[in-house]
């Protein structure tokens, strides 16, 4: 058992949603556009040498700097919140052997589930001001949004698409060990 994992006690680690963020980054026009989901759920379960991560985000909570854009992102053009209200991630066989984590998992977007390779980092647990054991887990994964039926685009005057297909999903999670 690795140095890190021996320091991550077995049990259930629950999300501290206030100090966590789950979002996406995608190239749009001349830069990178970012959005977040305000309502997210996640849990890390460690038993023996194995670990499991589950997470979800409510599409209706998508948070961008323009309410009209938020409405468009929830529409059938993008995530289709009415039919597919939840984004999901699950990884059953998480290797926490080092500070760098490599997580083969499955992600579900717009009702389509695909395997995804997630990379990230894990902090060593600390004891916070309230006496809770707490750790930080940063994960990111790159997906092709068109694999999930998120196909919207619009052409620039040159004919090139305005919005990239590759999207990076980023989760910066603080997890607290259940008492």
Beta pairing partners, 95: 102
Residues with Cβ within 8 Å of 40's Cβ and at least 6 positions away in sequence, in order, are: 15, 17, 20, 22, 55, 56, 57, 58, 61, 171
**Residue placing its CB nearer to another protein in the complex, 6 or 154:** 154
Q: Does 75 bind another protein (CB under 8 A)?
A: yes
Residues with Cβ within 8 Å of 65's Cβ and at least 6 positions away in sequence, in order, are: none
**Binding region for another protein (CB under 8 A) out of 27-35, 67-75, 128-136, 162-170:** 67-75
Closest CA to 113 of 84, 139, 136, 135: 84
Question: Closest separation between CB of residue 71 and another protein, Å?
Answer: 4
Q: Does 111 bind another protein (CB under 8 A)?
A: no
Dihedral over Cα of 74, 75, 76, 80: its sign? positive
Q: Does 90 bind another protein (CB under 8 A)?
A: no
Q: Does 63 bind another protein (CB under 8 A)?
A: no
Q: Does 9 bind another protein (CB under 8 A)?
A: no
User: Please, which of residues 140-169 interact with another protein by CB under 8 A?
Assistant: 152
**Binding region for another protein (CB under 8 A) out of 28-36, 51-59, 66-74, 171-179:** 66-74
Q: Is 68 exposed, middle or buried (0-12, 13-18, 19+ CB in 10 A)?
A: exposed
Binding site for another protein (CB under 8 A): 67-68, 70-72, 74-77, 82-83, 152
């Amino acid at each position: 058992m690795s140095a890190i994992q021996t320091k991550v006690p077995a049990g259930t680690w629950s999300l501290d949603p206030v100090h966590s963020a789950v979002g996406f980054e995608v190239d749009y026009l001349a830069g990178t556009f970012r959005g977040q989901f305000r309502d997210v759920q996640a849990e890390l379960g460690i038993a023996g040498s194995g670990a499991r991560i589950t997470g979800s985000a409510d599409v209706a909570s998508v948070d961008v700097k323009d309410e009209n854009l938020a409405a468009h992102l929830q529409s059938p053009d993008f995530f289709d919140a009415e039919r597919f209200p939840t984004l999901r991630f699950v990884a059953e066989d998480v290797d926490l052997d080092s500070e760098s984590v490599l997580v083969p998992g499955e992600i579900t977007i717009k009702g389509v589930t695909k395997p995804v390779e997630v990379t990230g980092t894990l902090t060593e647990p600390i004891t916070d001001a309230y006496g809770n054991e707490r750790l930080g887990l940063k994960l990111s994964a790159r997906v092709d949004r068109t694999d999930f039926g998120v196909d919207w685009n619009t052409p620039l005057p040159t004919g090139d698409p305005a919005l990239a297909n590759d999207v990076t999903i980023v989760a910066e999670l603080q997890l607290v060990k259940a008492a």
